[in-house]
Every structure is written in structure tokens, then in C-alpha cells.
């Protein structure tokens, strides 16, 4: 939230970011996998040193695997409570690979005195402090809880706010605009808010472990206090951040959407790394805070007005050695960053007036001094020598003019001489450099001329090739290039480009035509396939029976015609034969025997042929009869198949309609349950959410909660919480079934 009030940073002080490092014990799977404990903690000293693979790292504190939650809180976080109550901003964030112990450190098991982490301990401590403070102080405490996932800010206290934006207040401090703020007046109320946020976070996702390793969760505590006696107001913001896992993408073996997600998260973490590197560099003027929402939110925490502690969480296993090293390097860089912290104080009108008077006086003094200095300068410019005792003292405040050590003329001459010598030397050096540069320039010129010549040659060759290419493709003759002329390169180049673009379009046309032909070909292939399929079907199932019948008839007709022709031929042949025999009988007996022998052979050959043909004819007639028998059977089978197909089609349509109806019914159920949950949430929050609940210091907050805070929030029974959780889990079940 923005600080809406004017404030002043008078007592700003430089403050390094504190970096502490915590190693968790080896976990079961690491032990099972035989992973070794690769970290060493040098004994003695301040417990601020670790070594891994021979490399030593120093931090503000190093916590060994057996460090208790209590120890970590006391030594790394506790001091932030008094800072925030004194009007400073604070940030604690946990950085490290997934399962290195970030959530264990920040949150732990809330409500368990031993296992609870930093957040619940801070919350308890803030209230304990307030209860022990002066009675004339009034506190307003509000909390917000959101997460950053894929660079989108989701409000965990209002599920409808899924993409909050970061704005700047009038002091140019970024804040999450529109984030729900809950006023709280006791630790239990804070824990309820945390529970609510966590259960909202669970509803939105299917796998919480995976989700929490990919999102950053931010818990913000905003403390404002007013001194009722002198109206002095202080405010402090405390960001408690559990970052996404810092592991490299490659190790997770992510793919597709998961990979995009991982990259996006890594993007905000690498933005964080870049901001820290830029700050650590010290010379960088631009710090890339705007590269991600995370870095914008943490802008005041990194290099701004906040006391910041980074908790580096690490695994000690050999398997994670490289991740651990890069985590430690991150911490090392962060350690060099300096913040400039000051109290966020809102001044009373009285105080403003006092400060205004003070500043006015100061300005008047400075004005006087400037006038004196100008007068002295004018004298120097006129060639006068201003005596030391008359000179304005630059070391002291604006209103004092005490003399300083007198400069001696001789000294100044000597100084000038020395300066002159130095300048001469410099001039000489410059001259030599100039000479070398000039010769280099000449060399470069020669080289460039040579290069130019070569380029021209190459270009000519290229153009020649292009000409040939163009002729081959059959382009426009008018664009032909005179390849042998050396001058007018540019003109030719333009012509060549024209020519190339023409060829390009030509080639495109060709490609299109090719594609057309190819598609034609595939069409033809398809048709051929269909035809052969139809033929197969025709062979196996009788196919188109009327067609078959037609074919059969045609065949029969052809065969009958052939037979008729054969018959005629046979007749002719027999006639001819008889004629010949008669002739031969009438002929003289001395005729050659060999001739009649040949004729006889011919006759027997023809008779054989005749027999064969008769056989074929008979066979065809038989086949025809068989096919006629087969035809009705095939017709019956075809009819049966068609009926079956129809029945199956109807069944399919019915099934589809049934599925549609079911789907609609389930959708309706899901919507109904979601609405119920929403109504419950609304009812639970009640109208009191934005009403401030002042807490008076010095009074332990036991009774009167209802009296301070109107509305029904505190009347909510535990049962309503349980109901809601049940409904939420129902929604999740249905959601999962449909996901
Ligand atoms: P992260 O939030 O970094 O992914 P978690 O805090 O969830 O990791 O820790 C992973 C597991 O290791 C949890 O079961 C947690 O209880 C356990 N763990 C983490 N740090 C410690 C520790 N210092 N001592 C004992 N158990 C730890
Ligand atoms: Mg975690």
C-alpha cells in the first residue's frame, strides 16, 4: 500500500543488505540415493562461513542443518520487528532451489511452537511489542497476501483479482494497486487471514507442490502508528516473501507449457538476479527493476528504503552441489548491496512549520555566502589578487569567513611549470599516437581500395551467372545485364535486383505450378486407390450387382457372337475342304504325294482347334450358370450389411446426445457449487473489511474484539469454515474430473 502522507527522509542511513544462509539436513531421498554431505562448516568463530568444493563463502550468519526454527528467527529476523514498529520498512525473503527449505523457514508449521517459522513468530512478536508500548500510541495494522505466478499478481484474499498491477505512490514507491487489505488486531486474526489465503491458493491449482515451486508468495504487513499526544505518525511496511524455486530449467526436465511456465518464473528470478548484479556492480546507473513484477515490488527492498534480510536456503547434498553453489553466489552478490533507510514519518503542521523556518534560515545563509563568493570571483577576474584574509572560506559553513593557508606566488609558478611539462609530455605521446594512427589509416585505405576492386570483380561474376540463370529460366530479355562493363556498378546492381525480383516471382510461379501438378497427381492417386478399392469390394462382396449383371450379359453376348463367327468359319472351311477333295480326286494320279499329306495335317490341326474352342464355349456357359446362382446370395448379404450400418449409426447418434446432456448437467452443477462458495466467501467477509481497528498500546487484546470492529466476521463459526472447505474440495474434485 502507498504511504499517502508526506514524509521526510532526514535521518537516512546507509545499511547493507543482510544475507544469512541456512542448510537443511540431507533428506530421505538424498540419503537413499547415496548423496554425500558436501558442505563444510569451519569450527569456531562467528558461524558465518561455509566451504563447498574448496570455495569459501562468508555471510552475516550461517545456520547448520541442526539449527532450530527459534535460533533462525532470533538471529536472522527478530530485529526487524522493532525496526518496523519504529517506522522503518523491512523485507525478508527466502531464496533457493525447490525443497531447499524456503517455506519451512518462512512459514513452517503455523501454531506449532517448535516448528513454526519466521512469519508466525514475527506476527506474535509485533503484537507482544505493541502490548508493551506506551499507552498514548494507537496502531493500525493491515495485511495483504498475494502471489506472483507467470508475472501475474493474484490476490490470495480475493480470488476474483487475478491480475493486479503495480503502481507508484507520490513518493515513487511501487505498490500493488487494489490488493485486498485486512485490518487485524490480534495474531489469531492474522493467522486466519493466512489460512484463508492458503486455502484460496489450493483451490486454484491441482498440484500445490508444483505450483508453490513456480510461484512467489508475498505476505505484506503494514503498520501505522499515531502518537495521540503530539499527533506524530510513523509507518512501516514489512514484506515477507517466499520465492519460487531458483533451480535451472534443464534439471526439471520440463516440456511444453510447463517449460514456458518455468521459463517465465526463471525470467522473474533472473530479473531479480540482474537487479542484484546491477546494484552490486555499483557503477550501473540503470537498475532494471521494471523487468518483472517481482523486482518492482521489491524495489524499495533492494537498494531503496528498507532493512532487508535475504535467507539463502540450500541443500547439503552432492546431487545438488551446482545449484547450491549458484545459490551461494547469488547471496554473495546480494551482500554487497547498500540500502538507504530512513524512518517513514508523517509530520504535524507544527513540525512542518518549524522545519520550514529552519530551511528558510539556511537558504538565507547560503545566499549571503554566494554573494560574497561572486564578489571575490569578480575581483580575481579583474586581475586583482585577493588577500588570503579576504578570501571566503570554502571549508566552513555559509556564514563564516575565516582565513585559510596563504597560497605563495612561487608555488603557483612551480605548479604551472610542472603542469606545462606534463602537458608537453602528453602532447608528445599524442603526436606519436597520431603518427601511428595515420600510417594505420593509409594501410586501411590501401586495403579498402583492394577490397573494393575485388568486390567489383565478384559482383561482375555474380551478374554474369545471374544472366545465365535468367536465360535458363526464360526471363525478360530487356533486363539483360552487360556483364563485361565495369563502371556504373550501382546502376547495374539495381538492374540486377530488379532482375532477381522478377526471377523470384517467376520461380514462385513455377513452384505454384509444381504444387498444382503435385496436388493433381495426389488427386489422381487417390482416385486410382478408390477405384482399386471399389474393384476389390466388387470382387469380394459382389459389388454393384446391377453393374455385374450388365457385364455378365455383355460377356455372354460377345461369346455368342464369337461362337457365331466360329460357326460360320467352320462352315466355310468345311465347304472349302470338300471342294479341294473333289478337285484332288479329279486330278491326275501322278500328282505329288507330299501335297495331300500337308493338307491332311492342316485339316487335323484345324479340327483340333475346333475341339478346343467347343470346350471353352462349354466352360463359359457353365461359369455363367454358376454366377447366376451366386447372384441372389450376394444380394442378400449386401442388404444385411446395409441394415447393420444403419443400426450402428442410430446407436452412435443416441450415445452422442446422451453425452451432451450429461455434460450440460455437470457444468450446471459445477457453476452452482462455485456460486455457493462465492456467496459463502462474501458472507464471511461481511461489510467490515475496510474498517480500521485501532489497537491501543499497553492493553492486551483479549476482549472487545466485537466492540472495536463492527460486522459479523468474528461471529463466524468454525463450522462454516469446515463447510466451506468441504465445498471447496467438492469443486476441486469436479474440476479435476473435467480437467
Ligand atoms: P521449499 O519451500 O524450498 O521448496 P520446503 O520448505 O518445502 O522447501 O522443504 C522441503 C522439505 O524439507 C519439507 O518437508 C521440510 O519440512 C523439510 N525441511 C526443510 N528445511 C528443513 C530443516 N532445516 N530441518 C528439517 N526439515 C527441513
Ligand atoms: Mg516452498
pLDDT in tens, 203-245: 878 788 888 888 999 999 999 999 998 888 999 999 999 999 9
- Estimate to the nearest angstrom the gap between the alpha carbon of 526 and the chain centroid: 44
Question: Which of 429-433, 560-564, 598-602 has the highest mean predicted lDDT (pLDDT)?
Answer: 560-564
The share of the chain scoring above pLDDT 90, in percent, equals 34
Q: Is 215 in the pocket of ligand 1 (CB under 6 A)?
A: no
For residue 20, pLDDT over 90 is answered with yes
Cα(309)–Cα(18) distance, integer angstroms:
5
| Residue 720 pLDDT | 38
| Residue 11 pLDDT | 57
Mean per-residue pLDDT for 559-565? Answer: 81
Predicted confidence band at 706 (pLDDT cuts at 50, 70, 90)? very low
Predicted confidence band at 86 (pLDDT cuts at 50, 70, 90)? very high
Predicted confidence band at 547 (pLDDT cuts at 50, 70, 90)? low
Cα(672)–Cα(678) distance, integer angstroms:
10
The backbone torsions φ and ψ at residue 141, rounded to the nearest 5 degrees and listed phi first, read -115, 130
Q: Which of 42, 50, 27, 104 is nearest to 73 (CA)?
A: 104
| Residue 143 pLDDT | 97
| Residue 544 pLDDT | 52
For residue 606, pLDDT over 90 is answered with no
For residue 268, pLDDT over 70 is answered with yes
100 alpha carbon – ligand 1 mean position (Å): 6
Q: Is 216 in the pocket of ligand 1 (CB under 6 A)?
A: no
Q: Inter-axis angle of helices 593-685 and 489-541, to 10 degrees?
A: 110
Lowest mean pLDDT among 189-203, 210-224, 432-446: 432-446
Mean per-residue pLDDT for 39-54? Answer: 88
- Ligand 1, atom 17: closest residue by C-alpha: 101
The backbone torsions φ and ψ at residue 389, rounded to the nearest 5 degrees and listed phi first, read -70, -15
Q: What is the pLDDT of residues 103-126, one digit of tens each?
A: 999 999 999 999 999 999 999 999
| Residue 462 pLDDT | 79
Lowest mean pLDDT among 37-51, 394-408, 466-480: 394-408
- Ligand 1, atom 1: closest residue by C-alpha: 99
Q: Is 327 in the pocket of ligand 1 (CB under 6 A)?
A: no
| Residue 584 pLDDT | 59
Query: Is 291 in contact with 277 (CB distance < 8 Å)?
Result: no
Q: Is 214 in the pocket of ligand 1 (CB under 6 A)?
A: no
- Ligand 1, atom 10: closest residue by C-alpha: 99
For residue 737, pLDDT over 70 is answered with no
Q: Which of 438, 371, 361, 440 is nearest to 401 (CA)?
A: 371
Cα(719)–Cα(150) distance, integer angstroms:
35
- Estimate to the nearest angstrom the gap between the alpha carbon of 210 and the chain centroid: 16
| Residue 202 pLDDT | 84
Higher pLDDT, residue 567 or 160: 160
105 alpha carbon – ligand 1 mean position (Å): 8
For residue 560, pLDDT over 50 is answered with yes
The closest ligand to the CA of 95 turns out to be 1
Q: Is 96 in the pocket of ligand 1 (CB under 6 A)?
A: yes
Query: Is 82 in contact with 70 (CB distance < 8 Å)?
Result: no
| Residue 548 pLDDT | 56
Q: Is 320 in the pocket of ligand 1 (CB under 6 A)?
A: no
Consecutive H or E run containing 459 = helix 409-473
For 602-626, letters b (16+ CB in 10 Å) and e give: eeeeeeeeeeebeeeeeebeeeeee
Q: What residues does 644 pair with on adjacent strands? A: none
| Residue 73 pLDDT | 98
48 alpha carbon – ligand 2 mean position (Å): 25
Q: What is the pLDDT of residues 485-536, one digit of tens each?
A: 455 666 767 777 777 777 778 778 888 887 878 887 787 778 777 766 766 7
| Residue 407 pLDDT | 40
Query: Is 60 in contact with 209 (CB distance < 8 Å)?
Result: no
Higher pLDDT, residue 416 or 686: 416
Q: Is 98 in the pocket of ligand 1 (CB under 6 A)?
A: yes
Cα(306)–Cα(239) distance, integer angstroms:
10
Q: Is 197 in the pocket of ligand 1 (CB under 6 A)?
A: no
| Residue 159 pLDDT | 93
For residue 738, pLDDT over 50 is answered with no
Q: Is 213 in the pocket of ligand 1 (CB under 6 A)?
A: yes
Higher pLDDT, residue 612 or 507: 612
Mean per-residue pLDDT for 322-341? Answer: 91
For residue 69, pLDDT over 90 is answered with yes
108 alpha carbon – ligand 2 mean position (Å): 10
Query: Is 141 in contact with 1 (CB distance < 8 Å)?
Result: no
| Residue 541 pLDDT | 53
**Ligand 1 atom nearest 313 alpha carbon:** 3
Q: Is 99 in the pocket of ligand 1 (CB under 6 A)?
A: yes
Q: What is the pLDDT of residues 145-190, one digit of tens each?
A: 999 998 999 999 999 999 999 999 988 899 999 999 999 999 999 9
**Placement of cell 464355349 in the chain:** 617
311 alpha carbon – ligand 2 mean position (Å): 13
The closest ligand to the CA of 109 turns out to be 1
Q: Is 210 in the pocket of ligand 1 (CB under 6 A)?
A: no
For residue 655, pLDDT over 70 is answered with yes
The backbone torsions φ and ψ at residue 581, rounded to the nearest 5 degrees and listed phi first, read -65, -45
| Residue 632 pLDDT | 84
Site to probe by mutation for ligand 1, drawn from 69, 101, 105, 214 as the one with most ligand atoms within 8 Å of Cβ, is 101
Q: Is 87 in the pocket of ligand 1 (CB under 6 A)?
A: no
Cα(576)–Cα(692) distance, integer angstroms:
133
Predicted confidence band at 256 (pLDDT cuts at 50, 70, 90)? low
Mean per-residue pLDDT for 667-671? Answer: 89
- Ligand 1, atom 4: closest residue by C-alpha: 99
For residue 267, pLDDT over 60 is answered with yes
| Residue 283 pLDDT | 79
Mean per-residue pLDDT for 444-453? Answer: 84
Instruction: Kindly tell me the sign of the dihedral angle through the C-alpha atoms of 717, 720, 726, 729.
Output: negative
Q: Indicate the DSSP class of residue 619.
A: H
Cα(625)–Cα(641) distance, integer angstroms:
26
The share of the chain scoring above pLDDT 70, in percent, equals 78
Mean per-residue pLDDT for 323-347? Answer: 90
Q: What residues does 221 pair with on adjacent strands? A: 143, 238
Q: Is 335 in the pocket of ligand 1 (CB under 6 A)?
A: no
95 alpha carbon – ligand 2 mean position (Å): 10
Site to probe by mutation for ligand 1, drawn from 67, 99, 119 as the one with most ligand atoms within 8 Å of Cβ, is 99
- Ligand 1, atom 5: closest residue by C-alpha: 101
How many residues appear in the chain? Answer: 739
Q: Is 315 in the pocket of ligand 1 (CB under 6 A)?
A: no
Q: Is 140 in the pocket of ligand 1 (CB under 6 A)?
A: no
Q: Which of 140, 222, 212 is nearest to 180 (CA)?
A: 222
Cα(280)–Cα(603) distance, integer angstroms:
118
Strand duo 137-149 + 182-183: pairing: antiparallel
| Residue 269 pLDDT | 87
Q: What is the pLDDT of residues 627-638, one digit of tens each?
A: 888 888 888 888
Predicted confidence band at 469 (pLDDT cuts at 50, 70, 90)? low
Helix-strand-coil percent breakdown of the chain, rounded to 5? 60, 15, 25
Instruction: Kindly tell me the sign of the dihedral angle through the C-alpha atoms of 103, 105, 111, 115.
Output: positive
What CA–CA distances, in Å, run from 169 to 4, 85, 164, 306? Answer: 7, 22, 15, 16
Mean per-residue pLDDT for 391-415? Answer: 54
Predicted confidence band at 258 (pLDDT cuts at 50, 70, 90)? low
Please give the mean pLDDT across all residues of the chain: 80
Question: Which of 12-21, 55-64, 575-584 has the highest mean predicted lDDT (pLDDT)?
Answer: 55-64
717 alpha carbon – ligand 2 mean position (Å): 30
| Residue 561 pLDDT | 85
**Largest alpha-carbon pair distance within the chain?**
177
**Placement of cell 534560515 in the chain:** 361
| Residue 127 pLDDT | 96
Strand boundaries in 150-200, DSSP class E: 152-155, 165-168, 174-177, 182-183
**Ligand 1 atom nearest 100 alpha carbon:** 3
Strand duo 216-227 + 18-23: pairing: unpaired
| Residue 722 pLDDT | 38
Amino acid at each position: 500500500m502507498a504511504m499517502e502522507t508526506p514524509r521526510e527522509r532526514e535521518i537516512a542511513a546507509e545499511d547493507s543488505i543482510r544475507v544469512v544462509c541456512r542448510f537443511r539436513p540431507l533428506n530421505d531421498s538424498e540419503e537413499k540415493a547415496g548423496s554425500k554431505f558436501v558442505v563444510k562448516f569451519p569450527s569456531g568463530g562467528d558461524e558465518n562461513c561455509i566451504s563447498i568444493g574448496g570455495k569459501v563463502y562468508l555471510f552475516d550468519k550461517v545456520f547448520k542443518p541442526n539449527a532450530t526454527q527459534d535460533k533462525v528467527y532470533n538471529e536472522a529476523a527478530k530485529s526487524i520487528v522493532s525496526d518496523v514498529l519504529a517506522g522503518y520498512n523491512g523485507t525478508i525473503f527466502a531464496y533457493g532451489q525447490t525443497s531447499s527449505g524456503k517455506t519451512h523457514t518462512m512459514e513452517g508449521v503455523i501454531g506449532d511452537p517448535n516448528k513454526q517459522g519466521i512469519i508466525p513468530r514475527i506476527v506474535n512478536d509485533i503484537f507482544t511489542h505493541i502490548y508493551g508500548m506506551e499507552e498514548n500510541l494507537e496502531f493500525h495494522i493491515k495485511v495483504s497476501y498475494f502471489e506472483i505466478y507467470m508475472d501475474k499478481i493474484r490476490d490470495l484474499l480475493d480470488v476474483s483479482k487475478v491480475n493486479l498491477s503495480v503502481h507508484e505512490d507520490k513518493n515513487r514507491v511501487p505498490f500493488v494497486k487494489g490488493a485486498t487489505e485486512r485490518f487485524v488486531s490480534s495474531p489469531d486474526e492474522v493467522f486466519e487471514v493466512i489460512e484463508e489465503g492458503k486455502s484460496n491458493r489450493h483451490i486454484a491449482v491441482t498440484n500445490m507442490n508444483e505450483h508453490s515451486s513456480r510461484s512467489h508468495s508475498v505476505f505484506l504487513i503494514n503498520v501505522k502508528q499515531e502518537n495521540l499526544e503530539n499527533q506524530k505518525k510513523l509507518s512501516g511496511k514489512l514484506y515477507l516473501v517466499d520465492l519460487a524455486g531458483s533451480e535451472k530449467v534443464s534439471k526439471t526436465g520440463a516440456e511444453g507449457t510447463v517449460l514456458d511456465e518455468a521459463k517465465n518464473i526463471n525470467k522473474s528470478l533472473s530479473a531479480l538476479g540482474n537487479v542484484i548484479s546491477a546494484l552490486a556492480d555499483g557503477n550501473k546507473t540503470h537498475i532494471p527493476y521494471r523487468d518483472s513484477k517481482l523486482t518492482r515490488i521489491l524495489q524499495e527492498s533492494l537498494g531503496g528504503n528498507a532493512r532487508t534480510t535475504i535467507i539463502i536456503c540450500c541443500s547439503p547434498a552432492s546431487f545438488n552441489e551446482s545449484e547450491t553453489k549458484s545459490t551461494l553466489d547469488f547471496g554473495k552478490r546480494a551482500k554487497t548491496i547498500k540500502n538507504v533507510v530512513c524512518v517513514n514519518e508523517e509530520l504535524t503542521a507544527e513540525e512542518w512549520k518549524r522545519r520550514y523556518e529552519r530551511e528558510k534560515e539556511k537558504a538565507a545563509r547560503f545566499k549571503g555566502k554566494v554573494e560574497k563568493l561572486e564578489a571575490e570571483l569578480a575581483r580575481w577576474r579583474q586581475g586583482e589578487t585577493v588577500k588570503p584574509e579576504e578570501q571566503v572560506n570554502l571549508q566552513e559553513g555559509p556564514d563564516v569567513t575565516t582565513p585559510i593557508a596563504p597560497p605563495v606566488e612561487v608555488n603557483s609558478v612551480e605548479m604551472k611549470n610542472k603542469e606545462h611539462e606534463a602537458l608537453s609530455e602528453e602532447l608528445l605521446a599524442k603526436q606519436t599516437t597520431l603518427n601511428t594512427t595515420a600510417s594505420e589509416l593509409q594501410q586501411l585505405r590501401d586495403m579498402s581500395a583492394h577490397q573494393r576492386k575485388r568486390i567489383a570483380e565478384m559482383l561482375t561474376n555474380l551478374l554474369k551467372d545471374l544472366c545465365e540463370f535468367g536465360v535458363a529460366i526464360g526471363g525478360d530479355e530487356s533486363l539483360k545485364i552487360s556483364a563485361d562493363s565495369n563502371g556504373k556498378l550501382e546502376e547495374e546492381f539495381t538492374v540486377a535486383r530488379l532482375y532477381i525480383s522478377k526471377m523470384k516471382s517467376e520461380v514462385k510461379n513455377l513452384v505454384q505450378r509444381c504444387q498444382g501438378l503435385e496436388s493433381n497427381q495426389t488427386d489422381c492417386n487417390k482416385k486410382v486407390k478408390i477405384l482399386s478399392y471399389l474393384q476389390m469390394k466388387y470382387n469380394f462382396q459382389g459389388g454393384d450387382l446391377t453393374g455385374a449383371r450388365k457385364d455378365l450379359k455383355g460377356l455372354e453376348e460377345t461369346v455368342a457372337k464369337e461362337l457365331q463367327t466360329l460357326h460360320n468359319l467352320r462352315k466355310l472351311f468345311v465347304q472349302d475342304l470338300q471342294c479341294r477333295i473333289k478337285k484332288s480326286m479329279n486330278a491326275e494320279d501322278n500328282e505329288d504325294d507330299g501335297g495331300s499329306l500337308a493338307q491332311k495335317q492342316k485339316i487335323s490341326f484345324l479340327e483340333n482347334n475346333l475341339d478346343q474352342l467347343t470346350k471353352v464355349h462349354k466352360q463359359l456357359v457353365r461359369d455363367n450358370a454358376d454366377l447366376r446362382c451366386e447372384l441372389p446370395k450376394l444380394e442378400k448379404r449386401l442388404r444385411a450389411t446395409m441394415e447393420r450400418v444403419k443400426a450402428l449409426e442410430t446407436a452412435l447418434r443416441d450415445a452422442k446426445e446422451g453425452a451432451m446432456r450429461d455434460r450440460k448437467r455437470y457444468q450446471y452443477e459445477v457453476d452452482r457449487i462455485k456460486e455457493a462458495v462465492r456467496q459463502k466467501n462474501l458472507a464471511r467477509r461481511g461489510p467490515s473489511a475496510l474498517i480500521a481497528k485501532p489497537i491501543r498500546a499497553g492493553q492486551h487484546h483479549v476482549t472487545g474484539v466485537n466492540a472495536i470492529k463492527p460486522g459479523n466476521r468474528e461471529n463466524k463459526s468454525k463450522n462454516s469454515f469446515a463447510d466451506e472447505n468441504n465445498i471447496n474440495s467438492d469443486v476441486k474434485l469436479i474440476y479435476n474430473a473435467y480437467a
